[in-house]
Amino acid sequence: MAEFRKLCRLLMMAMVIIGSAKGANGRRYVVGADQGWDTGFNYSEWTSGKAFFVGDSLYFDYFREDHNVVQVDFEGFTTCNITNSIATYTAGRSTVELDREGTFYFVCSLGDHCLEGQRLQVSVLAKPAIPPSPDFLGPSSALNQNVPSSAASLSFAFCFLQFNSFISPPVLVLVIGWFSYLLL
Ligand SMILES: [Cu+2]
C-alpha cells in the first residue's frame, strides 16, 4: 500500500512537471507543415491564423543541398538581399527560438527561391500571462485544452479516492462531479 501511495505521488509530480515544462518551452511550429521549407509554398498563408509567442520555436525542415535559412531584417525580406543577414542555418533541420517580441524574417538565399516566395515573416507576441489556477477560476472551457491539468486532476481524483474511503457519500459525489466536469 505504501508503494502504491508513492506511485501516486510520483505520478502527480510528473504531471505537474510536464505541465510546467510545456508552459515554459512554448510551442514548436514546423514551418510549412508537411511541405516543409521549400519553394512553391505560400508562407504568409501558413502563418495567417497562427499566434506566435515569445518562447515558441520554428522548425525548418529542408534538403540542405537545395535550401538554407537566412534570418534577415525587413529590408532583406522585401528585397531578398542577405547582405545584412542576422543568422544563417544550413543544417537541413534548423530550429530557431522566437526569443523576443517583434517580427522575425527568414529567406532562402539559394537560387531565386526567395523571389519565388520562399520567405517567411513571423510576428511574435509577448508571452501570455500564466492563467490563474482553476481552483480560483472555476470551471471554464479553456480547461478542456489543458491536457496535463486534466490528467493531473484524474490522477489526483484516483489517488484521493484510494486513500479516503472514510469520505462521506455527498462529498464523494461532489468530488467525482467536479473532476468529470474538468475532464469532459
Ligand atoms: Cu531554397
Q: Which residues surround ligand 1, an ion (CB under 5 A)?
A: 67, 108, 110, 113, 118
How does pLDDT run across 59-114, given as a tens digit for each residue? Answer: 999 999 999 999 999 999 999 999 999 999 999 999 999 999 999 999 999 999 99
Tell whether 118 and 157 lie within a shared domain: no
Tally Cβ neighbours within 10 Å of residue 32: 19
The CATH number of whichever domain residue 40 belongs to comes to 2.60.40.420
Cα of 90 to ligand 1 centre, how many Å?
Answer: 11
The alpha carbon of 112 and the centre of ligand 1 are apart by a number of angstroms equal to: 8
72/144 same-domain check: no
1 confidence band (pLDDT: 50, 70, 90): low
Predicted local confidence at residue 181, as pLDDT:
45
pLDDT at 113 (0 to 100): 98
How far are the Cα atoms of 31, 86, 116 from residue 34, in angstroms, in the given order? Answer: 8, 27, 19
Specify whether 102 is located in the same domain as 44: yes
Q: Which domain-ending residue is among 97, 125, 153? A: 125
When pLDDT is cut at 50, 70 and 90, the band that residue 131 belongs to is: low
Return d(Cα 134, Cα 126) in angstroms, integer: 23
Verify that 149 and 95 share a domain, yes or no. no
Q: How far is the CA of 29 from the centre of ligand 1 (A)?
A: 19
Residue where a domain terminates, one of 106, 125, 144: 125
Taking only the tens place, the pLDDT of each residue in 3-58 is 645 643 544 444 434 444 444 579 999 999 999 999 999 999 999 999 999 999 99
- Residue at 17: amino acid letter: I
Collapsed DSSP state (helix, strand, coil) of residue 94? strand
Distance 106 CA to ligand 1 centre (A): 11
Q: Can you give the residue range of the structural domain that contains 55?
A: 31-125
Is the dihedral angle over the CA atoms 18, 19, 21, 25 positive or is it negative?
Answer: positive
Q: What is the mean pLDDT of the chain?
A: 75
